């Protein structure tokens, strides 16, 4: 098996990583469409847990907020959407190994794929370098999000649920309007409706994200 491309080695070095086991990092960067025997899913599983612990520890150090508020921020900071946005910011998309069709279909900018590969990279870092260097990597990448307002306000779906209850309305009803595109670059359109108030819809690369955006849109229109 060939090693990492020189451009990818150089990119990893900008993150403070000097890859030793190229096979490990290739696994972290390989999508199932590439045709290799390996892909990033196992390392994603590991990296998800490492990220959660590192962010939870960081929030614990930074604030004396109650458990509920800490959980709210944690969930926002480790969400697939946040991981994907940070992956774009550090230049990850061009280093993902995937099939031509998947890339042509926009897979390299898919929120689902980018979020997963970001976690896989953290899993690879943990396997090769241990927790402390990986925690430092996370703190470097997530600084603006943790120090900013990500997760400070209520999640739009929770806010909409509370708005409905506070206005003596039935709970919001979510419905999938359309699913389009191939599996690796799917698009979901979701509608949210509150009886005798109105409805709103939104489209995103995951059903959960589309529901969140639809709830946000509803609150902007009727809240």
- Active-site positions read 48, 119
**204: region left, alpha or beta (phi > 0 left; psi from -120 to 50 alpha):** beta
d(C-alpha 91, C-alpha 109), whole Å: 11
- The answer to whether the CB of 19 falls within 8 A of the CB of 12 is yes
* Cα–chain center distance at 33: 20
Q: Quick one: CA dihedral 142, 145, 147, 150, positive or negative? A: negative
Q: Quick one: CA dihedral 65, 66, 72, 78, positive or negative? A: positive
d(C-alpha 186, C-alpha 166), whole Å: 35
Residue with tokens 């698009």: 187
d(C-alpha 196, C-alpha 182), whole Å: 36
């Amino acid at each position: 098996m060939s090693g990492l491309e020189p451009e990818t080695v150089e990119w990893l070095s900008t993150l403070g990583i000097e890859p030793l086991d190229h096979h490990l990092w290739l696994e972290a960067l390989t999508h199932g469409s590439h045709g290799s025997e390996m892909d990033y899913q196992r390392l994603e599983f590991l990296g998800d847990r490492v990220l959660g612990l590192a962010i939870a520890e960081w929030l614990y150090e930074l604030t004396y907020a109650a458990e509920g508020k800490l959980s709210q921020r944690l969930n926002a900071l480790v969400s697939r959407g946040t991981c994907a946005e940070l992956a774009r910011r550090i230049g990850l998309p061009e280093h993902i190994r995937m099939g031509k069709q998947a890339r042509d279909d926009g897979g390299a900018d898919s929120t689902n794929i980018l979020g997963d590969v970001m976690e896989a990279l953290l899993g690879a870092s943990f396997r090769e370098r241990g927790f402390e260097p990986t925690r430092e990597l996370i703190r470097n990448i997530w600084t603006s999000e943790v120090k900013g307002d990500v997760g400070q306000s209520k999640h739009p779906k929770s806010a909409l649920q509370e708005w409905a209850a506070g206005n003596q309305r039935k709970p919001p009803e979510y419905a999938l309007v359309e699913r389009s595109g191939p599996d690796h670059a799917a698009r979901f359109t979701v509608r949210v409706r509150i009886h005798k108030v109105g409805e709103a819809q939104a489209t995103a690369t995951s059903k959960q994200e589309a529901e969140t955006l639809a709830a946000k849109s509803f609150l902007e229109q009727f809240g």
